[in-house]
Amino acid sequence: MTQAATAPTRSTVTSPRQRRRLRRPWWRSRWRSSSDRPFWSALALLVAAFVVLPVLAVVVDGLEATGSVRLPSGLAAMALTTLLLMGGVAVGTLVVGGGLAWLVTVTRFPLRDLFSWMLVLPLAMPAYILGFVFLSTFDEAGPVQGWLRDTVGQGLWLPPVRTLPGAVLVLTMTLFPYVYLMARAAFLEQSPSTYDAARTLGAGRGRALRSVVLPLARPSLAAGLALVMMEVLTDFATVQYFGVETVSVGVYKAWKGSYDFAAASQLSVLVLLFAVAVLTGERLLRGRARYTQRGSRGQGLEPVRLHGVRAAVAVVCCLVALGIGFLLPVVRLAGWAIGEARRSPGELVDPRFSGYLANSLTVAVVVALGCVVVALVLGHAGRMATGPLPHVAAQITTFGYAVPGAVVGIGVLLAFAGLDSLVRGVGVEGGTGLLVTGSVAGILYAYLVRFLAPAYQAIDASLTKVSRTTTLSALSLGAGPRRILWRVHLPLARSGVFVAFVLVLVDAIKELPLVLLLRPFGFSTLAVWVYELASENYWEKAALPALVIVAAAVVPVFLLFRHARLVDPHRPPAAGRGRGPA
Amino acid sequence: MKRVVLTAVCLGLAAATAGCGALDGSSGDEEPADIQVYSARHYDVENAFAAFEEETGLKVEFLFGEDADLLKRLEAEGEQSPADVYMTVDAGNLWAAQQAGVLQPVQSKMLDTAVPRGYRDRGDHWFGLALRARTVVYHPENVDPADFDTENTYAGLADTKWQGRLCMRDSTEAYTQSLVAALIETYGREETEQMVQGWLDNDVDIMSNDILLLEAVDAGTCDVALVNHYYLARELEEKPDMAVDIFWASQDGEGVQMNLSGAGVVATTDNEADAQKLLEWLATDGQGSFIGGNHEYPVNADVRPDSIVAGFGRFDPMPIDAAAYGQRNAEALALLEEVGYE
């Protein structure tokens, strides 16, 4: 009796949300809260269902075929290798990506503006040419080791390249831009007042970084890291060159080596479990605490100018990062392209080239816009409904990225085959026809399934930093959900939106397995062209189109950085367009 | 912000328009070709199909993809599939396609005489069209070819005299899997396991690309490697002074391990006649243009290989049993995994 009497008094010191919970039984409060705005919850669920469909199709098909689970004997070793690789690359990309983002945000040094956008470019290098380019350059028989031995002496010991550490290094230097981009957006969104307040209160640079900047940037760092982890998890093309047997290599072997699609799909489920672990880890990394900023989007920190040796060190850091993941492969490819041009100058430019380029760009832009819009709606839905439903749905959509590309492609095929027989079953003559592989529709759908994750990660990371009170105030002032999306969430998550667009665009331009599998007759992209040549080892012929893929990614990255003012918030982005005081 | 959104919207509209154009262009602007081929071969088939078109007036269109992917696509598309011919590069893949039931038998006197019995399906579901050999290459200054075991050269590489001198392909590659499958079929599982174990005991350097293997031998970082013959032919065409020589394996024994590329008519085609015509042409008049671009060996005994490959000399091949390649492939993978061959 006495306890019951004290309960209300205790509740007065709790938050308003907890108070609401105390008044209502939890199930009711949950039901109510997600039906606050049922439209948005339903929308999120619908998107999730669409994205999960192909993945489910693969799982069902795999289980149907055998009815039992057969796992390969080397599974434990594969899982361990996968974990080691992921761990190594996680540390590497955090240090390199996060460090560089901090460097270019808070300091000024020569060429900084150039570096700040060029550091994204390693993402443009397609994985299916990276392994060969690296090994043909750095392996024992390659020019680098040959030159070293010639100059230093034959007895020179050099570390073996084709090893797990080698794979960690290469993946780190090509995947760090995910973390870099997210971290950069986060640092730019940070309002300087928090950092300045910490400094004024006597915290040193390091302490301010640790206790103010990093906690605020944590959702973004975690989001970038999650993307890197999923890339590592699904990569087959690169790790295979380094003799690193991850679970994805197991999937490939089971399917293409043993003609055992069932075993392959079961292994894909295992890959998916790893992804679930990654995403759970990401949520934990983001922390239970919510760090949000008050009011408007921050103006960014005031950078400090570096001089002398410090400036030189900064330049060298950027150069090394850019050099390994981008400049070196580009130089190597350019060498091959020039060799090919000398040998057969007439055949250099294929007449179909412009068509392939147009296809690549068209699909990439359409998909990037589509993913950004859907991801924005998902993020918005999560903030409109207070229940967990939209969040869970949104999280599920990111699984498309955690399944090897070829498996997503097969899933799309199977899902549509199922749809076709369903439509026939209902009595429609001819079913759905060749919906997937007869048009570009299948490719677009598969891309959306696969690339929604990077888009959502980027946008959600930005949205989490918008404090809930901002959304609630807008609501209480009478703005409808759509108006809030357009006038509040979109502008506040702007840098996230741009990051999402760039990520998906670059990923989509170089994407291979989905197009290869789902394209209709007569439809080809640059990536397919490069792969056709590279898979048969015509590297010198593949070099030029590969460079064009990279170039095609450079332009949008540059333009969007200018537009989004990711280059330098303290300067007007283009002539004649001044900004208010910073 | 407004400007940015506007730009994005304009970009999107432009892209969508172009996208619709592409969508039309890929399916609607002209009649589909007479023969549509799903092919795991590309580059070289292009010239061959162009020549076929010129001779017969039949238009051929092909879609390149990976063997297993294309097979799964054929299965998923079912009756709707536009494909008339399925073309692939590994005997095991041909077997798998036949097992999956996506190919139909073809009765053709012309094909029966052009393609020897050993290089086509017993039930005539598929026909071999080009041959490749996987054999030994070596650095002429570092290796005396008399050191190779002429009875079973593959097993001979397990000898301790090759300690630290070998380079081979990784186990994800179909070439490695087929080689081991063929060795299991020919010499039995136990003996094959000893061979592979012996290579490993010799600290074989495992690489992921035949070109890298050839470059390693050329640079002298490897003395001996196992590669597909046409990669050497292709490299020699560009760099005639490469320090790599070829040795035909097991000539006093079971012969060199071979694999074949082949094709079959898709079960759901609506154009059997033209599809068959294409196969017949590829096995006879078209052999030269089909194999020439890739330096392969013809299946048709009346056709000569190109000059570089002819310069490699004559050799005895190991017989190809596609069913064995297909069925033993999983066993080969298990063996490789068991002994720890990456």
pLDDT value at residue A17? 53
Mutation target to probe the B interface, by most B beta carbons within 10 A, among A157, A521, A577 is: A521
Q: What interhelical angle do B322-339 and B189-201 show, nearest 10?
A: 50
* Sequence ranges of chain B with CATH classification 3.40.190.10: 33-131+259-305, 132-257+317-339
* C-alpha to C-alpha distance for A186 and A216, rounded to whole angstroms: 8
- DSSP labels, A372-391: HHHHHHHHHHHHH--SSHHH
- CA A441 to the chain's CA centroid: 23
pLDDT value at residue A29? 43
Query: 10 Å Cβ neighbour count for A85?
Result: 24
Least confident span in A570-579, B165-174, B251-260: A570-579
Instruction: Indicate if the pLDDT at residue B22 is higher than 50.
Output: no
Instruction: Indicate if the pLDDT at residue A287 is higher than 90.
Output: no
- Terminal-residue alpha carbon distance, chain A: 59
Q: How confident is the model at residue B76 (pLDDT cuts 50, 70, 90)?
A: confident
Residues of A in contact with B174 (CB under 8 A): 256-257
Instruction: Indicate if the pLDDT at residue A243 is higher than 90.
Output: no
**Threshold 0.90, pTM exceeds:** no
Strand partners, A250: none
**Higher pLDDT residue, B98 or A208?**
B98
Average pLDDT over residues A264-285: 81
Residue that is written with structure tokens 């070099």 in the block: A543
Return the CATH fold of B33-131+259-305: D-Maltodextrin-Binding Protein; domain 2 (3.40.190)
Q: What mean pLDDT, rounded, does chain B reach? A: 89
pLDDT value at residue A577? 34
The amino acid that residue B237 corresponds to is E
The amino acid that residue A510 corresponds to is K
List, as own/partner pairs, every contact residues A561-565 make where C-beta atoms lie below 8 angstroms and the sequence separation is at least 24, other chains included: A561/A116, A561/A117, A561/A120, A561/A502, A563/A498, A563/B3, A563/B4, A563/B7, A564/A494, A564/A495, A564/A498, A564/B4, A565/A188
Query: Residues A518, A356, B271, CA angle at the centre, nearest 5°?
Result: 50
* C-alpha to C-alpha distance for B224 and A50, rounded to whole angstroms: 52
CA distance B293 to chain A (A): 12
Phi, psi of A55 (to 5 degrees): -65, -45
DSSP H or E stretch at residue A457: helix A441-464
**CB nearest to B172's CB, from A252, A358, A437:** A252
Cβ pair A128, A533 in contact under 8 A = no
- pLDDT tens-digit profile of B136-182? 999 999 999 999 999 999 999 999 999 999 999 999 888 999 999 99
Q: Kindly state the tokens that stand for B333.
A: 């993978």
With CA atoms as reference, the chain B residue closest to A360 would be B19
* C-alpha to C-alpha distance for A352 and B42, rounded to whole angstroms: 15
CATH of domain B132-257+317-339: 3.40.190.10
Average pLDDT over residues A408-428: 82
CB contact under 8 A, B26 and A521: yes
pLDDT value at residue A572? 39
* C-alpha to C-alpha distance for A501 and A188, rounded to whole angstroms: 17
Q: How confident is the model at residue B126 (pLDDT cuts 50, 70, 90)?
A: very high
Check residue B171 and report its DSSP letter: T
* C-alpha to C-alpha distance for A147 and B310, rounded to whole angstroms: 36
Q: How confident is the model at residue B319 (pLDDT cuts 50, 70, 90)?
A: very high
Average pLDDT over residues B34-38: 94
Nearest CA to A303 out of A4, A571, A22 is that of A571
Cβ pair A453, A401 in contact under 8 A = yes
For β-strands B257-266 and B166-169, DSSP reports them as unpaired
Q: Kindly state the tokens that stand for A334.
A: 């350019």
pLDDT value at residue A69? 58
Domains of chain A and any CATH numbers: 36-66+74-290+308-563 (1.10.3720.10)
What is the radius of gyration, based on Cα positions, of chain B? Answer: 23
* C-alpha to C-alpha distance for A505 and A101, rounded to whole angstroms: 21
Average pLDDT over residues A60-74: 67
**CB nearest to B65's CB, from A358, A516, A539:** A516
* C-alpha to C-alpha distance for A451 and A511, rounded to whole angstroms: 10
Q: How confident is the model at residue A16 (pLDDT cuts 50, 70, 90)?
A: low
With CA atoms as reference, the chain B residue closest to A248 would be B172
Q: How confident is the model at residue A43 (pLDDT cuts 50, 70, 90)?
A: confident
Average pLDDT over residues B286-300: 91
Instruction: Indicate if the pLDDT at residue B205 is higher than 80.
Output: yes
CB contacts under 8 A, A 100-159 vs B, are 131-132, 135-136, 139-142, 146
Q: Which residues of A173-193 are buried (b: 16+ CB within 10 A; e: fewer)?
A: bbbbbbbbbbbbbbbbbbbee
CB contact under 8 A, A241 and B36: no
Q: What is the percent of chain A with per-residue pLDDT over 70, rounded to a whole number? A: 84
Cβ pair A458, A223 in contact under 8 A = yes
With CA atoms as reference, the chain A residue closest to B170 would be A243
Q: How confident is the model at residue A570 (pLDDT cuts 50, 70, 90)?
A: very low
Helices (H), A67-191: 75-93, 99-106, 112-118, 127-138, 143-152, 164-189
Instruction: Indicate if the pLDDT at residue B24 is higher than 60.
Output: no
pLDDT value at residue B26? 42
CB contact under 8 A, A413 and B76: yes
Q: What is the percent of chain B with per-residue pLDDT over 90, rounded to a whole number? A: 72
Instruction: Indicate if the pLDDT at residue B66 is higher than 80.
Output: yes
The 3-state DSSP class for residue A429 equals coil
pLDDT value at residue A553? 84
Instruction: Indicate if the pLDDT at residue B226 is higher than 80.
Output: yes
pLDDT value at residue A575? 35
Least confident span in A224-228, A229-233, A577-581, B242-246: A577-581
Q: How confident is the model at residue A288 (pLDDT cuts 50, 70, 90)?
A: low
CB contacts under 8 A, B 26-85 vs A, are 26-27, 32-33, 36, 42-43, 61, 63-69, 72-73, 76-78, 80-82
* C-alpha to C-alpha distance for A471 and A467, rounded to whole angstroms: 7
Burial of A99 (0-12, 13-18, 19+ CB in 10 A): middle
Least confident span in A172-186, B8-22, B124-138, B142-156: B8-22
Query: 10 Å Cβ neighbour count for B43?
Result: 15
Average pLDDT over residues A268-273: 82
Residues of A in contact with B216 (CB under 8 A): 139-141
Q: What mean pLDDT, rounded, does chain A reach? A: 80
Residues of A in contact with B7 (CB under 8 A): 563
**CB nearest to B73's CB, from A261, A437, A522:** A437
Q: How confident is the model at residue A574 (pLDDT cuts 50, 70, 90)?
A: very low
- DSSP labels, A311-343: HHHHHHHHHHHHIIIIIHHHHHHHHHHHHHHHH
Cβ pair A400, A408 in contact under 8 A = yes
Mutation target to probe the B interface, by most B beta carbons within 10 A, among A138, A259, A555 is: A259
CA distance B316 to chain A (A): 26
- Terminal-residue alpha carbon distance, chain B: 53
CB contacts under 8 A, B 76-135 vs A, are 76-78, 80-82, 92, 96, 99
Least confident span in A125-134, A417-426, B289-298: A417-426
Residues of A in contact with B36 (CB under 8 A): 521
Residues of B in contact with A363 (CB under 8 A): 19, 22
Query: 10 Å Cβ neighbour count for B144?
Result: 9
Check residue B303 and report its DSSP letter: S
Least confident span in A488-492, A530-534, B57-61: A488-492
CB contact under 8 A, A359 and B22: yes
Q: Kindly state the tokens that stand for B137.
A: 């290459």
Q: How confident is the model at residue B79 (pLDDT cuts 50, 70, 90)?
A: confident
Q: How confident is the model at residue A95 (pLDDT cuts 50, 70, 90)?
A: very high
DSSP H or E stretch at residue B132: strand B127-138
CB contact under 8 A, A358 and B18: yes
Q: What is the percent of chain A with per-residue pLDDT over 90, rounded to a whole number? A: 20
* Most confident of the following: A28-32, A300-304, A490-494, B310-314: B310-314
User: Does B13 touch chain A if contact means CB atoms closer than 8 Å?
Assistant: no
Q: Kindly state the tokens that stand for A400.
A: 């498309």
Nearest CA to A561 out of B13, B14, B10, B4 is that of B4
* C-alpha to C-alpha distance for A267 and A278, rounded to whole angstroms: 17
Residues of A in contact with B215 (CB under 8 A): 136, 141-142
Average pLDDT over residues B214-231: 94
Average pLDDT over residues A309-335: 92
Query: 10 Å Cβ neighbour count for B2?
Result: 6
Is ipTM strictly over 0.95?
A: no
DSSP H or E stretch at residue B133: strand B127-138
pLDDT value at residue A394? 84
Q: Kindly state the tokens that stand for A311.
A: 């400036």
Residues of B in contact with A522 (CB under 8 A): 25-27, 61
pLDDT value at residue B44? 76
Cβ pair B71, B86 in contact under 8 A = yes
Mutation target to probe the A interface, by most A beta carbons within 10 A, among B1, B41, B42 is: B42
CB contact under 8 A, B329 and A257: yes
